[in-house]
Structure 1
Amino acid sequence: MRWGRREAATAAAVALPRTAVELREVTHSYGDRTVLAGVSLTLKEPRIGVIGANGSGKSTFARLLNGLVVPTSGAVLVDGLDTRTRAREVRRRVGFVFQDPDAQIVHPTVAEDVAFGPANQGLPAEEIARRVDDVLARYGLAGHRDHPAHLLSGGQKQLLAIAGVLVMRPERIVFDEPTTLLDLANTRRVARVIDELEQDVVVVTHHLDLLAGFDRVLVFEDGRVAADGSPAETVPWYVTRTG
């Protein structure tokens, strides 16, 4: 079989071993406003939380992890792939769930929206249908498959956004404040969903209870990592700092 450059590059990316996400002296600015400054980290734990005040740089940090944002200087590497030059391959490995699911839902019906990602990946129709059925059943959305996506409840929309990422089977998922717009019952439901995932996760949140049992929590302050350790170490430090 003869492959073109694109097919060869994709095959090489798939063959790369899963190692870690690395940030090397990453700085990011919006115009003349610097939001991250000289951040160097290696992320390899299964459950990583990210906390900090509004404007601390945590959401920009989250977007750097799958190439939605590229650093002004420095580099972000996912299993050795530079997000600046290999963004498409990086996004196959790192999924992203937005705070507001309406920013992520792009098709009129539930099933169509979930099918969009794998169709974009060029998967066969039979495989797409099987994956869509599986993920809708998993998150209690099978009965809504032909339902207008914009008419779902807030909790159902967030589950749909998560399903739309999971159907592409990334190895890692970044959640940017996934429970901020939800009531208590749906916050607990999304927390259970995250807890049950097989994939590695990075969760940006203001809901500190979500981080119980996590392996590592980063605290951002003024564009830098101010604390880095277990939840038992960093969460009380952060609460005291903001208290």
Structure 2
Amino acid sequence: MNSISFSNVSVRVTVDGSDASKTLLHTVSLDLPEHRIGVIGANGSGKSTLLRLLNGLVEPSEGTVSVHGDDTVAAVRKVRSTVGFVFTDPLSQLVMPTGREDVELSLRRSIRNSKERSARAEAVLDRFGLLHLADQSIYELSGGERQLLALAAVLAVDPTVLVLDEPSTLLDLRNRELLRRTVAGLEQQVIMSTHDLDLALDMDRVLVVESGRVVFDGGAAEGVARYRALCAVGVDGDALSGPVTGGAPT
């Protein structure tokens, strides 16, 4: 059961001010057991919707999503203890004045004793090379330092699955490489959406999402090549309804 499964999943939202609806994701069926999975596609393609289904931030309009056998709607609290989610902008995730306080906040539910919680937070910050920044205001830190703090706060509670939604968007080259090395060394299963095709090439498997459909599912190099081709040609919606390459049809 150590896999993530999508079974005929669609997501629709109501268009403001009307009875009409918009489909964000079209009938996706996937089984995701690989250690490193990349999700690539244009802005608005459905990448974030796909990722947010993994820990109940978005609920399916049809179909089901399960994480290690737990339904993301019926067992959302258990799923969220299994799946850690890191957002694109760390300032939307870091809610305390300093990194130390944010990591301790993440640990509050699992470690009741304040001294033990403080020691654990310090160990987590040290693991990520952030201890020297622990007591600085998060607003004094660089984008890369904030992103690593957000990652540390999520990983402090030892999730089994780590979901990263475009984590390198706000990073310069040095911090992107630091993020890349950090992610490569994690024990957790990582599912990451990204516009950085070099990061995508590090993955064991790549999904290409376009207009709410998974149009490619397979190896990283092939997936990046398919995405480059889609961007170059400007493929329309009708062409995207064909068979998926390299994986289960969606």
TM normalised by structure 2 equals 0.87
Partner residue in 1 for 2:8: 25
Partner residue in 1 for 2:153: 164
Partner residue in 1 for 2:246: none
Distance 1:117 1:188, change over 3 A: same
Partner residue in 2 for 1:111: 100
CA–CA separation in structure 1 for the residues paired with 2:88 and 2:61: 24
* Contact 2:100 2:134 (8 Å CA) reproduced: yes
Asked if 1:61 corresponds to 2:50, the answer is yes
* Contact 2:111 2:117 (8 Å CA) reproduced: no
Asked if 1:86 corresponds to 2:75, the answer is yes
Asked if 1:34 corresponds to 2:17, the answer is no
Question: Structure 2 unaligned runs (5+)?
Answer: 15-20, 233-250
Which amino acid counterpart does residue 142 of structure 2 have in structure 1?
A: S
Question: Structure 1 unaligned runs (5+)?
Answer: 1-17
2:164 to 170, 175, 183: 175
SS in 1 for 2:55: coil
Distance 1:192 1:37, change over 3 A: same
Asked if 1:73 corresponds to 2:56, the answer is no
Asked if 1:101 corresponds to 2:90, the answer is yes
Q: CA deviation at 1:128?
A: 2.0
Q: CA deviation at 1:126?
A: 4.0
CA–CA separation in structure 2 for the residues paired with 1:240 and 1:50: 16
CA–CA separation in structure 2 for the residues paired with 1:218 and 1:241: 13
Which amino acid counterpart does residue 29 of structure 1 have in structure 2?
A: R
Q: CA deviation at 1:121?
A: 3.5
Deviations along 1:83-139, one digit per CA (max 9) or x if unpaired, are 112111101111000000000001112111011111034544344223211111122
Which amino acid counterpart does residue 88 of structure 1 have in structure 2?
A: R
RMSD: 1.3
Which amino acid counterpart does residue 136 of structure 2 have in structure 1?
A: H
Deviations along 1:176-235, one digit per CA (max 9) or x if unpaired, are 000011111111111111111111100100001002232100000111110000112211
1:1-243 equivalence runs, <5 A: 19-31=2-14, 32-243=21-232
CA–CA separation in structure 2 for the residues paired with 1:187 and 1:221: 25
Aligned length: 226
* Contact 2:40 2:200 (8 Å CA) reproduced: no
Which amino acid counterpart does residue 26 of structure 1 have in structure 2?
A: V
CA–CA separation in structure 1 for the residues paired with 2:222 and 2:201: 12
CA–CA separation in structure 2 for the residues paired with 1:224 and 1:185: 33
